Chains A and B, each alone.
Chain A
Amino acid sequence: MVSVPNVDRAAVAPPPGPFRSRMKKRLGPDIDGYGFLLPATIVMVSLVVYPFCLAVWFSVSDAFVGEPASYVGLENFIYILTEDDIFIETIWNTLLFAFWSVLFKVVLGLSCALLLQRILKLRRFFRGSVLLPFVAPTALSTLGWWLILDPTYSHINWILANVWPFSYFGWGPYNFLGNPTLAMASVIFVNIWRGIPFFIITILAGLMAIPDHLYDAAEIDGASTWRKFYSITLPLLRPVLAIIILFSTIFTLGEFNIIYVLTRGGPMNSTHLFSTYSFTYGILNHEIALGAAVALFLFPILVVIVVFLLRMVRRDTSHEL
């Protein structure tokens, strides 16, 4: 190093000593970043990571409320897969539930977003209304649906019986939540009701991001409305759609509130999802081990979706840079 006259090396303020600079070299210039992350890390490790590991442990043990657990290997998984018919049904229920819910949410959400984008007056009113199901407490609004679907008080049955032209056919009354097929349809229906806003908002944002001049150019080229939708809107919306479909799939697969309030998995276990069935095992029957095993079946699906999502989100951000 060149010796520097004029500079009094002793006068150097040395508080962040050599240790700090060595750490900086190794860990990057902003090592205080770890401090900022510390509270979040503590919470997430102790209340997410640790419980998750505990769930894995429970699933390979014979844990039962109030008794010491011991290791039993894959017995729980083997049990629910081979001897528990309800669980097999639950798998199908969950897939069915997620598939129809997400499908309808995409279609209805997209169509509603396209309409909302086109209106100019009363925008806030229309947007506010269609987004309301998303913010209202799910358990409480689902109770509203519960009344609407109640065999005796059902508003739908009342319409079928008393309002022309429906009364003409003599349909109903239906016991919506008492019949396995209708019950499944009902919970899917309410889940769609509750999930559409999420699609509307994100799709609207995606639509806003499509530059106007593309449509102007298409219009000059004489494209029809349908053609513009098909050739501009849909392709440019595809990344957004893919991401929200994956998000929504995760949330739909984990749905608990609607099922719990409307059917508690019934009738005859026909509407159980992983969440409610795990609740039944773990909380109602105190079979913690089986409850954990059931819930863990969500995990592989989750991993696949998260991998897809991460890839997309990454690509998206690299796009921005």
Chain B
Amino acid sequence: MSSDTTTLTGSTGREVGVNKVPIWRRRKAAANYIALLPYVFFALFPFYIMGITSIKTDEEINNLGQSPFWATGIATEHYVYLANNTSFFNHWFVNTLIVTVAVTIISVSIGTLAAYALARLRFRGVEVFGVAVFITYLIPQTLLFIPLIDVINTIDEVVPIRDTYWSLILTYPTFLIPFVTWLLMGYFKTIPVEVEECAYLDGCSRLGALIRVVLPMAIPGIMCAILFSITLSWNELLYSLVFIQNETAKTISVGVITELIRGDIYYWGSLMAACFIGALPIIMIYGFFMDYFTSGLTAGAIK
């Protein structure tokens, strides 16, 4: 991220340093913006459609002669319907929130410990562990959801977790821990070893140095790990689809696609309202912390 900003200011400085921007340069710059517009339009299009459809009345939605791109008024009936007639807010939203928070805490703590050991400590087999983390990071859920049902059923005989969000709290860390570990390994490696060693000499134990010195220095990395855990848990579909049938135990994604789509008549208004509201928390978090997101994705892929 820091290299990002330095290059940024570097090139900005160079461009701005020219007092009078020549006209051809300005034209070229304008061309860049115009060329970007289709991408922006493409990226935002479905969100716009969701938003605009969710505030139309059913009548308006079903009036096929009228342009579907604009609403003549703002109708809140679909949101009211979601609140009164479905489990959207009462259960799905709450469940998703609980799962997300729990899974994020679990995954980031466990992943932090593992990343620290893999990035910093010297012991036999450390490379093997590193490679193992990398491989588990790449194992798709497709390969695991069938046997995981079995695992959950086995655990269910001791602790009742089947058909509750506990099954998700248990299984989501399987894809988050490797991700967090991989991400934070890169961050920890950038922290000078000497600072940590100084902490030891100042009187810290290993865990003390990690908590008081290394973690505060890795805050951007930790933030990024937290944000990604939140996003990935919030967005997960396959496991919650497979592990949960009980309507009140569902998460947003599953609830919406299994409970709000009924028969052949689609209730587009409420469906789009649910999609919009369901995506909104993530989009808002993303708006606030965009820089952490981008740096994390980069680190996760390249480091």
Contacts and interface: CB of A to CB of B under 8 A. Distances in A.
Please say whether the chains A and B touch (CB closer than 8 A): yes
Interface of A: 26-34, 36-37, 39-41, 43-44, 46-52, 54-55, 58, 108, 112, 115-116, 118-120, 122, 124, 126-141, 143-145, 147-148, 150, 152-153, 155, 158, 162, 193, 196-198, 201-202, 204-206, 208-209, 212, 240, 243-244, 247, 250-251, 253-254, 256-257, 260-261, 274-275, 278-279, 282-283, 288, 291-292, 295-296, 298-299, 302, 305-306, 309-310, 313, 316
B113 interface: yes
Contacts of A108: 39
Contacts of B287: 128
Interface in B191-237: 206, 231, 234-235, 237
B114 A55 contact: no
Contact of B275 (A44, A122, A141, A158): A141
B83 interface: no
Contact of B302 (A118, A133, A243, A257): A243
A143 B32 contact: no
B301 interface: yes
Interface in B135-163: 135-136, 138-148, 150-151
Contacts of A198: 297, 301
B252 A135 contact: no
A201 B39 contact: no
A33 B123 CA distance: 7
Given A153-B61, A155-B69, A144 B136 contact: no
A155 B42 contact: no
Nearest to A142: B46
B164 interface: no
Between A112, A122, A137, A274, the greatest number of chain B beta carbons within 10 A of the residue's beta carbon is seen for A137
Prevailing SS type, chain B contact patch:
helix
A287 to B, nearest CB: 10
A293 B113 CA distance: 35
B121 A32 contact: yes
Contacts of B142: 254, 256, 274-275, 278, 295, 298
B32 A115 contact: yes
Interface of B: 3-4, 7, 10-12, 14-15, 29, 32-33, 35-36, 39-40, 42-47, 49-50, 53, 61, 64, 67-69, 109-111, 113-114, 116-118, 120-124, 126, 129, 131-136, 138-148, 150-151, 170-171, 173-174, 177-178, 181, 206, 231, 234-235, 237-238, 241-242, 252-254, 256-257, 266, 268, 271-272, 274-275, 278-279, 282-283, 286-287, 290, 293-294, 297-298, 301-302
Contacts of A256: 141-142, 237-238
A307 to B, nearest CB: 10
B11 A153 contact: no
Given A36-B116, A52-B139, A137-B235, A116 B36 contact: yes
A124 B114 contact: no
Contacts of B113: 36-37, 39-40
Given A130-B43, A139-B256, A295 B143 contact: yes
Contacts of A116: 36
Given A26-B124, A205-B302, A135 B231 contact: yes
A29 B122 contact: yes
Contacts of B254: 139
B121 A33 contact: yes
Contacts of B279: 136-137, 140-141
Contact of B293 (A46, A50, A135, A291): A135
* 9 shortest interchain CB distances as A-B pairs: A254-B140, A144-B46, A54-B147, A33-B121, A36-B117, A30-B121, A28-B123, A51-B147, A275-B142
Given A36-B114, A127-B294, A201-B298, A138 B237 contact: yes
A152 B123 CA distance: 63
B49 A148 contact: yes
A40 B237 contact: no
Contacts of B268: 147, 153
A193 to B, nearest CB: 7
A135 B283 contact: yes
B128 to A, nearest CB: 11
B122 A30 contact: yes
8 contacts: A131-B286, A131-B293, A137-B252, A137-B279, A198-B301, A202-B298, A212-B7, A283-B242
A44 B123 contact: no
